[in-house]
Amino acid sequence: MIQAISDRAETETTFAPAVWRLVVDETPRSGAANMALDQALALACAAGESPPTLRFYRWQPPAVSLGRHQPLAEIDLAAAAAHGYEVVRRSTGGRAILHIDELTYAVAAPADEPRVRGGVMDAYLRLSNALLAGLQRLGLQADKTAGSVRAGPDVSAACFEAPSAYEITAAGRKLIGSAQSRRARYVLQHGSLPLTGDITRLVDVLALPPAEKGRLRAQLAQRAGNLAQALGVAEDAAVVGFEAVAAALAHGFAETLNLTLRPGPISAAELRAAARLIREQYANDEWTQSY
């Protein structure tokens, strides 16, 4: 278990000290459960019932998550089922991601929390700096893309084809893809860090002609990668294990954002809210098929 983390003495930020909850899910969850729990945590933060929370988690079975307004028709549902992948729609924007062999992070906080306050890009920049600091603890010199980068109309259905503003790259290849949802009283940002495996597997379940799949597969292989590749280590190396990466990223958040991260459980009320969201939204065909 990760103990309470505080790197305040090392920080150069002007943020006042704060305490956030740290949740490291030991057991992977389904796609619907993960998306519902992220939203439940954000709603609890908005209501003042829970502290700002940094959560790290995994997916089982693997799942393809769609951006909030991404057409379901961009996914070959039969192919996804044949591979054993669930399909879920996020509450956040962006394009499709295959969640497999990865660590996912989520930040849920009230909208007036200084570290997420302001516009979308303001929060993206601060959280990207925290992610970079965490990767540096693993020995990786990663970068963030320029704030002027935007997704164009010709970007494919795959999230990792190209980085957006302030997303994380290593040696010019996209490493962490993130998405954010801002409501009147909360901010939710989550992102995917592939630890190992073939980043191009998503192409297998996109509804594209064979020739287009070949082109996109080649582009993804060139433009994106996983953490093991970025570090130049074997896929079974301890440094790219879920627990090791979660601990490093947690330290990066604490150091960069002047936080004490205090491990804490998900509350019974949050679990009840997540169960309701699973039924009414994330495992509901009406939601998944809404675009």
142-163: b (≥16 Cβ within 10 Å) or e: bbbbeeeeebeeeebbbbbbbb
Q: Which of 253, 275, 269 is nearest to 189 (CA)?
A: 253
Q: Strand 63-66 relative to strand 86-89: parallel, antiparallel, unpaired?
A: parallel
> Which residue in the block uniquely carries the two structure tokens 């729990």?
37
196-208: b (≥16 Cβ within 10 Å) or e: bbbbbbbbbbbbb
Indicate which residue of 24, 35, 66, 159 is catalytic: 159
Eight-state DSSP code of residue 3: P
Active site residue 45: no
Tokens representing 148 are 């002027």
In angstroms, the CA 227 to CA 196 distance is: 6
Tally of helices (H runs) and strands (E runs) in the chain: 8, 12
Active site residues: 159
